[in-house]
Amino acid sequence: MEIGIIGLPKSGKTTIFNALTRRSITTEPSIPTKLTTNIGIAKVPEPRLEVLERIFHPKKVTSAEIRYVDIAGLTKGLGKTEGIGGQLLNYLSKADALLHVVRAFKDDRIPHIEGSVDPERDIATLNLELIFSDLSIIERRLQRIQEILKGAKPQERDLIVKEQALLHKVKECLEKERPIWEQELTPEEMRNLANFQFLTAKPVLVVVNIDESQITQCSTIEAELCRRYPKTHFRILAICGKLEMELTQLNESEAREFRTAMGLSEPALDRIVRASYELLGLVSFFTIVSDDLRAWAIPKGTTALKAAGKIHSDIEKGFIKAEVLSFTDLHRCGSLAEARRQGLLRMEGKNYIVEDGDIITFLFNI
């Protein structure tokens, strides 16, 4: 899973990237002119791993991971409807979701490129920017389709005409500023659009980057913004990027003490990862193979066969069966032996839909 971080220059993208991935990339003193990318991994916080660790005493514990990509450089024109193209578009197209950092902190030493701090204006600017990007892809494709239709054989025409009609429909909605995920498209239509990797088809997590001085109002600011954007593929969180980045430099107990003193409930990383999970519709399953306990993230509705492929393509190819035990059952029993005695381990086939919290042993031959 990969999430692309996007936002106006100086909104705090790199700061939040550092907080998420525990890195310390220097935040930009000036607007960069060259495309640079920082790729980092955030470990998915998973309290169930600790419980499993106590039961299995593995030598190694590996969390599920989400990749975050912080892209700077070509965002210079963002907000002037010339921003997303070229390499920036390439990076964002590949992402499973977008994390939009919006500046709410005030700091006279860091001028806002629009001259004032206005989170709602910036949310709207970026949404428009994403819409423009998709529209230009559609326009290019529609032009190409006209060319193709001139020389198309009768049996090819049907399919091309169908694509043309779908693109016209999507275009009309985009022109009314409705992102693709908000349009009422059938699963088949969504599949037909998938290859275009449209930006407005991706879920968006808006992270409003607030000031240290606004920390006590954090949940009020968040609730107010969420109320104004009641959308399913659009989630809003308020965090203080600078503080969160500083907190990653402290050890865990110091950071926890600090958070309690500031009235912060949990680390921003946890909140952002959880929101990413919800937006992307992800669930976790667990494996224990030769003393290595691992958590994996997969989209809801993934089959046992595909889940096996997530671990290794050989396991998918040679898949025989999956032995499944639910976390809740194991937790209740306290040990694998007891769960086995109660007959709670199930053998499932390749079409079994993996559930959140499944502990799976794949049987396969290669």
Ligand X SMILES: Nc1nc2c(ncn2[C@@H]2O[C@H](COP(=O)(O)OP(=O)(O)O)[C@@H](O)[C@H]2O)c(=O)[nH]1
Are 310 and 296 contacting, i.e. CB atoms less than 8 angstroms apart?
yes
d(CA 365, CA 315): 7
Note whether 203 binds ligand X by CB under 6 A: no
Query: Considering only residues 1, 6, 49, 72, which one is a binding residue for Mg ion as defined by CB under 5 A?
Result: 72
**18 close to 245: Cβ distance less than 8 angstroms:** yes
Name the minimum Å distance from CB 69 to Mg ion. 12
- For residues 255 and 248, what is the distance between their CA atoms, to the nearest angstrom? 7
Amino acid 169 reads K
CB of 180 to ligand X, least distance (A): 26
Token readout for 165 is 């009609």
Is 163 among the residues that bind Mg ion (CB under 5 A)? no
Least separation in angstroms between CB 106 and ligand X = 8
Contacting ligand X (CB under 6 A), which of 4, 6, 12, 268?
Answer: 12
Calpha distance 329→355 (Å, rounded): 13
**Residue closest to ligand X when measured from CB atoms:** 27
Q: How far is the CB of 206 from Mg ion (least distance, A)?
A: 17
170 residue type, one letter: V
* Binding-site string for ligand X from residue 229 to residue 268, where x marks contact by CB under 6 A and - marks none: -----------xxx--------------------------
Q: Which residues 137-166 are close enough to bind ligand X by CB under 6 A?
A: none
Cβ-based neighbours of 80, under 8 Å, separated by 6 or more: none
- Tell me the C-alpha distance between 200 and 136, whole Å: 12
CA pair distance 237, 210, nearest whole angstrom: 10
By beta-carbon proximity to ligand X, the closer residue of 242 and 294 is 242
Task: Give the binding-site size for Mg ion (rule: CB under 5 A).
Answer: 4
Cα distance between the two ends of the chain: 27
> Please, which of residues 59-78 interact with ligand X by CB under 6 A?
72
Give the DSSP H or E segment for 278.
Answer: helix 268-280
Helix ranges, 293-344 (H): 304-311, 313-317, 327-333, 336-341
241 binds, among ligand X, Mg ion, none (CB under 5 to 8 A by kind): ligand X
In this chain, which of 14, 63, 183, 287 binds Mg ion, going by CB under 5 A? 14
Cβ atoms of residues 107 and 212 within 8 Å: no
CB of 14: closest distance to Mg ion in angstroms? 3
- Site for Mg ion contains 28 (CB under 5 A): yes
Of 101-120, binders to ligand X (CB under 6 A) are 105, 107, 110
Of Mg ion, ligand X, none, which one does residue 7 interact with (CB within 5 to 8 Å by kind)? ligand X
Q: How far apart are CA 208 and CA 12, in angstroms?
A: 10
Q: Are strands 36-43 and 65-72 parallel, antiparallel or unpaired?
A: antiparallel
Mark 13-52 with x for binding to ligand X (rule: CB under 6 A) and - for no binding: xxx-----------xx------------------------
- In this complex, which beta carbon is closest to Mg ion, that of residue 8 or of residue 131? 8
Question: Residues 186, 187, 193, CA angle at the centre, nearest 5°?
Answer: 90
Q: Which does 359 bind (CB under 5 to 8 A by kind): Mg ion, ligand X, none?
A: none
Half-sphere exposure (CA, 13 Å, Cβ side) for 78? Answer: 31
Residues that bind Mg ion (CB under 5 A): 13-14, 28, 72
Residues that bind ligand X (CB under 6 A): 7, 9-15, 27-28, 72, 105, 107, 110, 209, 211, 240-242
